[in-house]
């Protein structure tokens, strides 16, 4: 037996209702769908479904395409190419510049007292947390290791929070000297992500 909502509508009738055709769709996908439709007698078959910036309206403006910084692509690719093939370096550099930067998950945050350090970091404004990338040439396990170190503004101590994953060190070497942005992920096991601007 079905129950009812407070307005008297049955659960059965609510469950049979059709979803709006645009539910969960982005504005870009709606515009693309609408652009491919034929307008008959000046009437868009989707009516007001596009909501804003409909390609068939007189006020429509084509979204501006962001220009990629080619100099940044070459700069990043040339640094990455020291560790990977030139073709792969340029493909990755284009992707990094297009996305506005490069993001990685910090490895090794479950060792030592790093979970406690992450818990403490959640108590500070992210703007006051400084992260640094420090190559560890004398690391006994990996001579290419790059540690992620943090400090809080006004504090005197620098803490090693973890490491750049081994699979990412070749790319991250291109960003040495760049100050990364650190985001602490709070959950059952706390984690951290670094974002490096292109």
- The residue-averaged pLDDT of 94-119 equals 87
Angle at 83 between CA 81 and CA 89, to 5 degrees: 35
The rounded distance, in Å, linking the Cα atoms of 30 and 2 is 36
CATH number of 100-197: 3.30.70
Predicted confidence (pLDDT) at residue 163 exceeds the cutoff of 90: yes
Domain borders along the chain are: 24-65, 68-96, 100-197
Q: How far is CA 77 from CA 66, 82, 100, 140, 169, in A?
A: 20, 9, 15, 29, 14
Q: Which of 70, 33, 69 is nearest to 51 (CA)?
A: 33
- Which pLDDT belongs to residue 148? 92
- Bridge partners of 183? 193
Across the chain, the runs of DSSP E, i.e. the strands, are 101-105, 129-135, 146-152, 159-163, 181-185, 191-197
CA 179 to chain centre: 17
pLDDT band at 98 (very low <50, low <70, confident <90, very high): confident
Q: Residues 69-95: pLDDT tens digits?
A: 788 888 888 888 777 788 888 888 888
């Amino acid at each position: 037996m079905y129950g009812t909502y407070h307005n008297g509508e049955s659960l059965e009738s609510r469950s049979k209702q059709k979803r709006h055709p645009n539910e969960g769709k982005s504005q870009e996908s709606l515009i693309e769908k609408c652009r491919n439709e034929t307008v008959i007698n000046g009437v868009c078959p989707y009516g007001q479904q596009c909501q804003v910036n409909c390609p068939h309206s007189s006020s429509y403006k084509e979204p501006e395409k962001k220009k990629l910084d080619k100099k940044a692509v070459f700069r990043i690719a040339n640094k990455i190419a020291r560790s990977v093939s030139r073709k792969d370096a340029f493909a990755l550099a284009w992707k990094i510049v297009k996305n506005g930067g490069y993001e990685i998950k910090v490895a090794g945050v479950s060792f030592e007292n790093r979970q406690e350090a992450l818990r403490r970091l959640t108590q500070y404004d992210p703007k006051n947390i400084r992260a640094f990338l420090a190559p560890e040439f004398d690391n006994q396990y990996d001579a290419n290791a790059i540690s992620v170190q943090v400090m809080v503004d006004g504090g005197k101590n620098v803490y090693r929070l973890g490491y750049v994953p081994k699979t990412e060190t070749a790319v991250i070497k291109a960003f040495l000297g760049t100050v990364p942005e650190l985001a602490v992920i709070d959950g059952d096991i706390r984690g951290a992500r670094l974002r490096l601007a292109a």
